[in-house]
Structure 1
Amino acid sequence: MTRSIVIGAGMVGLATAWHLQERGVDVTVIDRAGVAAGSSWGNAGWLAPAKTIPLADPSVWTYGPRALFDADAALHVPVRVDVSLWSFLARFVAHGTQRAWDTAMAALTPIDKLALESFDELIDGGVDAWTREGPFIVGFGHEKQARGFMRDIAGVIQHGQRVHVERLDDPRALAPQLSGQVGAAYRMDGQRFIEPGPFVHALAAAVEERGADMRVNAAVTDVNRTSMPTVTLATGEKLSADSVVIATGAWMPELARPLGVNVRVQAGRGYSFTVDTDEPAAHPIYLPLQRVACTPYDGRLRIAGTMEFVGPDEPLQARRVQAIVNQVRPFMTGVDLDNRHDEWVGSRPVTPDGLPLVGETRSAGVYVAGGHGMWGIVLGPATGKLLAERIVTGRTDPAIAPFDPLR
């Protein structure tokens, strides 16, 4: 039996491990902290291919500079001397053109189309978890503010996805948490959501039940190849296998850059918290101008937002949580924003061109899977399936061909 080591116990790493097991591979999963310890835990849990789009678009040229001086802006870049960060930002902004957006969207569309069925495959294969249909309720202060959202939806449809969006006369019938300040609202169908932490833990349980060796609180300090791919743990222990997958999210460069993966991966940190609501939240809510996503979670409403470009291990900034609160307060009612639970920050791996990094490194038998930005949850199962196929058969599915980590 062939053997593989997967470094990273988030959605992407565990989905890769599960699909490797499907193909008869013996798997060891290693994580420096634990299952779903990174951005797989506190995100919004959206399985929304219609919104799985490039992060940089033409609006970044006007919104970005304003955000530097707005303490409540969804985008936060600290004013500091950091050559590496500003180099990334220059490349990121350079992709904020319609042509670059279309190029990236064309590359993302094939895997977007596989996203939902890939979740069904995991659940049908024994993962004890669920996904739920929307609708997603999309709210704006007034009708003109919906133009950017509708333009994005039109672009997604143009590139081959099927998306149904319908104007709502009474959004509070579906989302009573929306206040009278929401003057225009739509419902978006065909999308789903999950509770991400429980789903990833269920996936980990399935992988372990199938015989995987799960090693948590085990840091990997090096990956190299001598006679075969080998990882070195912080304890000095060395483990070898036929293949190694680096799926460590925003920390990927630490292990992957020495292997020729030179595409910049910047931590784009997101924040979330949960709140009690007077009426139960049944459907996800999206406030595009505030860049805030809300999801029913464990009897409460999880509110997630912010893109903060800093280091992946920097501490939670309470000011960023308050910025989300300030942004959403006018548009919500019956929501206890001042009694927050589970305040969280997680580092999402963002690339300048908006495309993931999935494939083999310059070291034969060593692969990376990451760089999905905000879309690691929704694209994780499809990524794991197609990477496992590449590892076992040598065939690169066209859906991941544009994500070559050596580009």
Structure 2
Amino acid sequence: MSRSIVIGAGMVGLATAWHLQERGVEVTVIDRVGVAAGSSWGNAGWLTPGKTIPLADPSLWTYGPKALLDPDAALHVPFRVDAGLWSFLAQFAAHGTSKAWDRTMADLTPIDKIALAGFDELQAGGVDSWTREGPFVIGFKEEAHSKGFLHEVAGVVRHGQDVPMERLDTPTELAPVLSDAVKVVYRLAGQRFLEPAPYVEALGAAVVARGAQLITGIEVMDVASTRKPVVLLSNGERMEADSVVIATGAWMPKLARKLGVRTRVQAGRGYSFTVETEKPQEHPVYLPYQRIACTPYQGRFRIAGTMEFRRPDEPFQHRRIQAIIEQAREMFTGVDLDDRQDEWVGSRPVTPDGLPLVGATKAPNVYVGGGHGMWGIVLGPVTGKLLAEQIVTGRVDPAIKPFDPLR
């Protein structure tokens, strides 16, 4: 029996492990902390192919300067001497054009279209957790604030996705948490959501129940490929396998760069917390102008936001939570923003061109899966399926061809 080592126990790594098992591969999963310990834990849990779009767009040239000058801006870049960060920002900004947006959207569309089916397959295969249909409630203070969002949706539709959306006459019909300040509201259908930590933990449990060895609390220090790939652990142990998958999110470059993966992966850190609401909120809420994404979570309401370009292991910046609160306070009612739980920061792996890194490295039988930016949860299951197919059969599915990690 073929044997594979998957490094990283987030959504992408575990989905890859699950699909390798489907193809008869014996799997060991290694994570330096544990299952769902990184950006898979505290995100908004949105399964929204209709919003799985390039992060860089022409509006970057409008709010980009604010990201440098205003520490409370939704997109924040610390002003510091960091050659790697500035190199990433230069490449990222170069993709902030309409032409680049369309090119990247064309490359994302094929995998967007099959993303939700990946969750149905996992559920049918015994993963004991749920995904739920929206609808999603999209709110704005005024008509002018909605133009950017509507333009994005139109671009997604133009590239071939069905994104059902209608304007609501009663703003609080589906979202009693919205305040009177919210005057323009849309209902977005055809998308789903989940509770990310419980879902990824259920996926991990399924992988273990199917025979995988799960090793946590030990870091992989190096991956080498001679006759067979070998991983070197922080305790000095060496493990050999027929294939190795690096799925370590924002930490991918540490292991993958020397294997020919030159595309920079920058941590785009997001923050979240949960609050109580006076009236139950059953549907996700999105405030695009404030860049705040909210989801029902274990009887509470998770509020997530911000994109902060820092190193992945930097300390929690409480000011970022306060920035989200100040933006949210005017838009919500019956929400206790002062009684917060589960305050969290997670490092999402962002690439300059907005495309993931999925496929073979220069080292024989060593692969990477990651670089999804904000879309690792929604694209994780189908990424794992198509990467497992490539590992076992050598076939590269057209949906992941644009994600070649050696590009």
Q: TM-score, normalised by structure 1?
A: 0.99
1:208-287 to structure 2, matched below 5 A, reads 208-287=208-287
Match of 1:8 in 2: 8
CA distance in 2, matches of 1:114, 1:215: 31
Match of 1:360 in 2: 360
Q: Does 1:371 align with 2:371?
A: yes
Match of 1:99 in 2: 99
Q: State the one-letter code of the partner of 1:47.
A: L
CA distance in 2, matches of 1:149, 1:65: 21
Match of 1:385 in 2: 385
Contact 2:71 2:78 in 1 (8 A): no
Contact 2:45 2:295 in 1 (8 A): yes
Contact 1:271 1:321 in 2 (8 A): yes
SS in 2 for 1:402: helix
Match of 1:339 in 2: 339
Match of 1:89 in 2: 89
Q: State the one-letter code of the partner of 1:296.
A: P
Question: What is the CA distance between 1:243 and its match in structure 2?
Answer: 0.4
Contact 1:5 1:244 in 2 (8 A): yes
Contact 2:171 2:183 in 1 (8 A): no
Question: What is the CA distance between 1:218 and its match in structure 2?
Answer: 1.3
Match of 1:291 in 2: 291
CA distance in 2, matches of 1:69, 1:330: 23
CA distance in 2, matches of 1:245, 1:144: 45
Question: What is the CA distance between 1:73 and its match in structure 2?
Answer: 1.2
Q: Does 1:51 align with 2:37?
A: no
Match of 1:174 in 2: 174
CA distance in 2, matches of 1:135, 1:70: 33
Per-residue CA deviation, residues 256-284 of structure 1 (Å, 9 max, x unaligned), is 00101000000000000000000011000
Per-residue CA deviation, residues 72-93 of structure 1 (Å, 9 max, x unaligned), is 2110100111111011001001
Q: State the one-letter code of the partner of 1:24.
A: G
SS in 2 for 1:172: coil
CA distance in 2, matches of 1:364, 1:34: 27
Question: Any gaps of 5 or more consecutive residues in structure 2?
Answer: none
CA distance in 2, matches of 1:301, 1:356: 29
Q: State the one-letter code of the partner of 1:280.
A: P
Match of 1:303 in 2: 303
Contact 1:134 1:284 in 2 (8 A): yes
Question: What is the CA distance between 1:236 and its match in structure 2?
Answer: 1.0
Matched residue pairs, number?
Answer: 407
SS in 2 for 1:274: strand
Q: State the one-letter code of the partner of 1:151.
A: H
Q: State the one-letter code of the partner of 1:130.
A: W
Contact 1:276 1:335 in 2 (8 A): yes
CA distance in 1, matches of 2:79, 2:334: 36
CA distance in 2, matches of 1:125, 1:234: 34
Per-residue CA deviation, residues 99-121 of structure 1 (Å, 9 max, x unaligned), is 00000000000000111010010
Match of 1:318 in 2: 318
Q: State the one-letter code of the partner of 2:298.
A: D
Question: What is the CA distance between 1:363 and its match in structure 2?
Answer: 0.1
Contact 1:72 1:327 in 2 (8 A): no
Match of 1:68 in 2: 68
Contact 2:3 2:26 in 1 (8 A): yes
Match of 1:148 in 2: 148
Note the aligned Cα RMSD (angstroms): 0.6
SS in 2 for 1:271: strand
CA distance in 1, matches of 2:142, 2:187: 15
Match of 2:404 in 1: 404
Contact 1:30 1:216 in 2 (8 A): yes
CA distance in 1, matches of 2:181, 2:71: 22
Match of 1:21 in 2: 21
Question: Any gaps of 5 or more consecutive residues in structure 1?
Answer: none
CA distance in 2, matches of 1:133, 1:69: 39
Per-residue CA deviation, residues 129-176 of structure 1 (Å, 9 max, x unaligned), is 000000100000111211111110010001010011100111212100
CA distance in 1, matches of 2:255, 2:240: 16
Contact 1:274 1:342 in 2 (8 A): yes
CA distance in 2, matches of 1:370, 1:189: 27
Per-residue CA deviation, residues 323-349 of structure 1 (Å, 9 max, x unaligned), is 000111100000000110000000000
CA distance in 2, matches of 1:92, 1:275: 34
Q: State the one-letter code of the partner of 1:123.
A: Q
CA distance in 2, matches of 1:171, 1:120: 32
Question: What is the CA distance between 1:357 and its match in structure 2?
Answer: 0.1
- 98-107 or 58-67, which deviates more: 58-67
CA distance in 2, matches of 1:103, 1:406: 18
Contact 1:72 1:326 in 2 (8 A): no
SS in 1 for 2:334: coil
Question: What is the CA distance between 1:69 and its match in structure 2?
Answer: 2.3
Contact 1:105 1:159 in 2 (8 A): yes
Question: What is the CA distance between 1:42 and its match in structure 2?
Answer: 0.2
Q: TM-score, normalised by structure 2?
A: 0.99
Regions of 4+ moved over 4 Å = none
SS in 2 for 1:336: coil
